[in-house]
A and B are shown apart, each in its own frame.
Chain A
Amino acid sequence: MSEDSRSPIRRDAAAIAAYAGAFGASFGAVSVASGLTIAQTMVLSLVMFSGASQFALVGVIGGGGAGLAAVPTALLLGVRNMFYGVPIAGILGRRGRSGPRRLVAAQLVIDETTAMAVGRDVPAEQRYAFWATGVMGFLLWNCGTLAGALGGSAIGDPATLGLDAMAPASFLALVWPRLRSAEARWVGAGGALVATALIPLVPAGVPVLAAAPIAVVTGLFPRRGATAEGGQR
């Protein structure tokens, strides 16, 4: 893989890592304000390393919930990373998912790394995008968390800077190239619709999981002439 194809991937990964750093800082501040210690806050960012689950956990604890009541919500929000593991394992290939590498790679399987990896067409670029986004994102998320936990209320509200618009915009941008096939467009629209319809009906985390069966059914029973490879070279 040439430097020409690496440098734009690194640039995009750095942009994701930058907003991960800013979000990490707000997580650190929120976590300490919710009654967790700095050490507990850092364990979450280092070991859980999954923004939605972390915010949910400290949210329940901060809202006065008994500690253990927060666990199922955090886990439910983490289940989607398990589904992401399937395409990522395929992208990393046999070498990338053997031995200790698999243990490290697994920790980096989150929304951002999955979106960056599947947003590329060439396998070598997909692997590079996964690792670049994962390593930079992990470092900045944790540095940000520590800064936020120490700085506390000095950290401004990320909403003021519009940072909360960056996550959905980035997922959309990264899924965009995949939407070249009609089949993928239907799957994406179906996932969004099902999730939206379920928001008032089921606990947090479930709406996104409910989109998975759409991909499974469509993948197992493809219509003739329509394949998910439509966007591939």
Chain B
Amino acid sequence: MIWVAVVVASVGCYLLKLAGMSLPASVLERPDVRRVALLLPVAMLSALVAVELFDGGGVLGVDPWLLAGVGAAVVALLLRQSFIVVIVVAAATTAVLRALT
């Protein structure tokens, strides 16, 4: 039974990806579709960050050290640090705070 779930869900997830990639060029090149395509990742990745921070397993909840790590990343971004510095600062902040408590 586990095999059925693994195969059905895996193939299903791949087909979802393929469906999104398969819009015809005539649709993809319309100016309004291009504007939507530019904004979709902004909306969904922002939502994803919010969910990773505030989803405590189906209820609103926050891990303060995780929030502090991502807060430190925002400070690094405001200071115009590089991508790698930003994600390392986030992980290090969270790890240090967890180790201390």
Contacts and interface: CB of A to CB of B under 8 A. Distances in A.
B20 A83 contact: yes
A11 B87 CA distance: 13
Interface in A1-23: 11-12, 15, 19
A187 interface: yes
Interface of A: 11-12, 15, 19, 35-36, 40, 43-44, 47-50, 53, 57, 61, 66-68, 70-71, 74-75, 78-90, 94, 97, 102-103, 105-107, 109, 111, 114-115, 118, 159-176, 178-179, 183-184, 187-196, 199-200, 204, 207-212, 214-216, 218-220, 222, 227-229
Nearest to B61: A199
B42 A199 contact: no
A48 B7 CA distance: 9
B95 A161 contact: yes
A212 B22 CA distance: 18
A31 to B, nearest CB: 10
A114 B87 contact: no
Nearest to B58: A200
A109 B50 contact: no
Given A82-B20, A191-B47, A192-B49, 14 more contacts: A36-B2, A71-B12, A74-B13, A79-B16, A83-B44, A118-B42, A162-B93, A169-B91, A172-B70, A175-B45, A183-B39, A199-B51, A199-B59, A218-B39
Interface in B26-74: 28-29, 32-55, 58-60, 65-66, 69-70, 73-74
Given A199-B51, A199-B54, A111 B69 contact: no
